[in-house]
Amino acid sequence: MEAPDIIEKLRAEFGDAILQADVEAVDPFAVVQAERVHDIIQYLRDADDLMFDYLMSISGVDYQGIVEGDPLGVVYHLYSYQHRHTFVIKAQVPRDDPHCPTVSDLYGAANWQEREAFDLFGIVFDGHKDLRRILLPPQWEGHPMRKDWQEPETILGISTVRKSLRERLAEKNNG
Partner 1 sequence: MVDELRPEIPAGVLVEDGEMVLNMGPHHPSTHGVIRLILTMDGEVIHTVTPDIGYLHRAIEKIAEKTPYYTFMPFTDRIDYLGAMFMNHGYAMAVEKLAGIEVPRRAEYLRVLADELNRMASHLIFMGTMTMDIGAYTPFLHALREREKINDIIEALCGARLTYNYIRVGGVSFDLPPGLTGQILDFLDGYEVFLDEFDRLITYNEIFVKRVANVGIIPADMAISYGLVGPNLRASGVDYDVRRDAPYSVYPELNFDVITGDDKYGSVGDAFNRLRVRIAETAQSARLIRQVLQKMPTGPIMGKLPRKLKLDPGKDAFSRVESSRGDTLFYIVAGGGNSPHRLRVRTGSFTALSVVPEIGQGVMVADLVAIFASTDVIAPETDR
**Choice from 2, 5, 126, 130 touching partner 1 (CB under 8 A):** 130
Adjacent-strand bridge partners of 120:
none
Of 17, 19, 134, 155, the one binding partner 1 by CB under 8 A: 134
Pairing of strands 29-32, 86-93: parallel
Residue 136 sits in the site that holds partner 1 (CB under 8 A): yes
Q: What is the dihedral of CA 49, 4, 40, 32, to 10 degrees?
A: 170
Judged by CB under 8 A, the residue of 12, 26, 158, 161 near partner 1 is 26
Instruction: Count residues binding partner 1 (CB under 8 A).
Output: 38
Measured in whole angstroms, the distance separating CA 165 from the mean position of its chain's CA atoms is 40
88-107 residues in contact with partner 1 (CB under 8 A) are 88, 107
Q: Which stretch binds partner 1 (CB under 8 A): 2-10, 12-20, 49-57, 162-170?
A: 49-57
Stretch that binds partner 1, among 5-13, 127-135, 154-162, 167-175 (CB under 8 A): 127-135
| List 13, 70, 112, 122, residue binding partner 1 (CB under 8 A) | 112
Near partner 1 by CB under 8 A: residue from 33, 59, 122, 124: 59
- The residue type found at 51 is M
Q: For partner 1, give the closer residue by CB, 11 or 133.
A: 133
* Residue 99: C-alpha distances to residues 71, 74, 93, 111 (Å): 11, 10, 6, 16
Q: Give the number of other Cβ atoms within 10 Å of residue 25's Cβ.
A: 10
Q: How far is CA 84 from CA 51, 76, 95, in A?
A: 10, 16, 35
DSSP assignment, residue 163? -
Where does this chain bind partner 1 (CB under 8 A)?
25-27, 53-57, 59, 61-63, 65-67, 75, 77, 81, 84, 86, 88, 107-109, 111-113, 120, 130, 132-138, 144-145
